């Protein structure tokens, strides 16, 4: 059921509990709202479906405004976006986090885990910064990983501006959502992995392929677009 829900939400990200209950009941699954809410939480669909109390416990000072509306993206390392998504496997599931450079569409950081821990997300970000330098802005949703003291404190120490999606607005982080759609339809759903190591190797190979393939929107390979921009800025 989680895989069916995940696939459906890639194309209809604004649908919630009632729509999902209706769809699964029509397919013969005996489900109700309580079960769907539990599965949403387990899948980590915080951007796509928000309960009233999703950010309960997060201090208001850790909820940041959305800075990308109307912003002209002109160069690499200007804006990075990050998110977490559910990854179905042959048996069980794991989570994938990724960081995308909006200008070039290059995936500059990623990681796989069996839990959505705050430290895991922070480690992936720190590694991306160590390898590629700091972005000017980093955008995320308002999930608990990104409204924690550790996440906010680390980014502010780096001198990076923090942007967060508006509550319930899946389109605010559309660049990473499009990447989720790409990797799931082109790799994950076609190749259900048996274990974490197989999944890690498969995702690594796909991201390397993605970064080296011409992107349909920018009409350049993400690796090339990123490097050209960095070189122009350094010149």
Find, among 143, 140, 144, the residue nearest to 163 by Cα.
140
Q: Is residue 160 part of a domain?
A: yes
User: Do 17 and 130 sit in the same domain of this protein?
Assistant: no
| Entry pTM | 0.81
User: Do 68 and 28 sit in the same domain of this protein?
Assistant: no
| Residue 90, pLDDT score | 86
Q: Is residue 85 part of a domain?
A: yes
User: Do 188 and 158 sit in the same domain of this protein?
Assistant: yes
User: Do 25 and 64 sit in the same domain of this protein?
Assistant: no
User: Do 33 and 65 sit in the same domain of this protein?
Assistant: no
Q: Is residue 48 part of a domain?
A: no
| Residue 211, pLDDT score | 98
CATH number at residue 190: 3.30.420.10
User: Do 136 and 179 sit in the same domain of this protein?
Assistant: yes
User: Do 122 and 182 sit in the same domain of this protein?
Assistant: yes
User: Do 69 and 136 sit in the same domain of this protein?
Assistant: yes
Q: What is the pLDDT along the chain (235 residues), one digit of tens a residue?
A: 888 888 888 877 777 888 888 889 999 999 998 888 888 888 877 543 344 444 444 567 789 999 999 999 999 999 999 999 999 888 889 999 999 999 999 999 999 999 999 999 999 999 999 999 999 999 999 888 999 999 999 999 999 999 998 765 556 788 998 999 999 999 999 888 999 999 999 999 999 999 999 998 999 999 999 999 999 987 6
Q: Is residue 134 part of a domain?
A: yes
| Residue 226, pLDDT score | 97
User: Do 94 and 22 sit in the same domain of this protein?
Assistant: no
Q: Is residue 49 part of a domain?
A: no
Please count the structural domains in the chain: 2
| Residue 56, pLDDT score | 47
Contact by Cβ (8 Å): 160, 50:
no
Which of the 8 DSSP states describes residue 184?
I
Q: Is residue 52 part of a domain?
A: no
User: Do 147 and 202 sit in the same domain of this protein?
Assistant: yes
* 3-state class percentages of the chain: helix first, strand second, coil last, to nearest 5: 45, 15, 40
Q: Is residue 71 part of a domain?
A: yes
Q: Is residue 129 part of a domain?
A: yes
User: Do 122 and 15 sit in the same domain of this protein?
Assistant: no
Sheet holding 137-140, edge to edge: 107-113, 93-101, 79-88, 137-140, 161-164
User: Do 78 and 175 sit in the same domain of this protein?
Assistant: yes
Residue-number span of the structural domain to which 29 is assigned: 2-43
Find, among 95, 140, 129, the residue nearest to 113 by Cα.
95
């Amino acid at each position: 059921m989680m895989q069916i829900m995940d696939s459906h939400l890639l194309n209809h990200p604004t649908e919630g509990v009632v729509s999902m209950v209706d769809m699964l009941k029509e397919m013969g699954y005996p489900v109700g709202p309580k079960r769907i809410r539990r599965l949403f939480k387990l899948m980590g669909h915080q951007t796509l479906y928000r309960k009233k109390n999703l950010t309960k416990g997060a201090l208001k000072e850790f909820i940041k405004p959305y800075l990308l509306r109307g912003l002209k993206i002109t160069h690499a390392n200007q804006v990075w976006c990050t998110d977490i998504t559910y990854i179905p496997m042959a048996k069980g599931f794991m989570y994938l986090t990724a960081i995308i450079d909006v200008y070039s569409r290059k995936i500059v950081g990623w990681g796989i885990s069996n839990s959505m821990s705050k430290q895991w997300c922070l480690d992936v970000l720190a590694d991306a910064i160590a390898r590629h330098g700091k972005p000017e802005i980093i955008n995320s949703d308002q999930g608990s990983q990104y409204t924690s003291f550790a996440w906010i404190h680390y980014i502010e120490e780096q001198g990076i501006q923090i942007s967060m999606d508006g509550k319930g607005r899946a389109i605010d982080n559309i660049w990473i959502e499009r990447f989720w759609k790409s990797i799931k339809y082109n790799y994950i759903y076609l190749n259900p992995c048996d274990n974490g190591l197989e999944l890690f190797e498969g995702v690594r190979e796909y991201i390397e392929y993605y970064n080296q393939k011409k992107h349909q929107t920018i009409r350049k390979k993400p690796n090339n677009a990123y490097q050209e921009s960095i070189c122009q800025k350094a010149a």
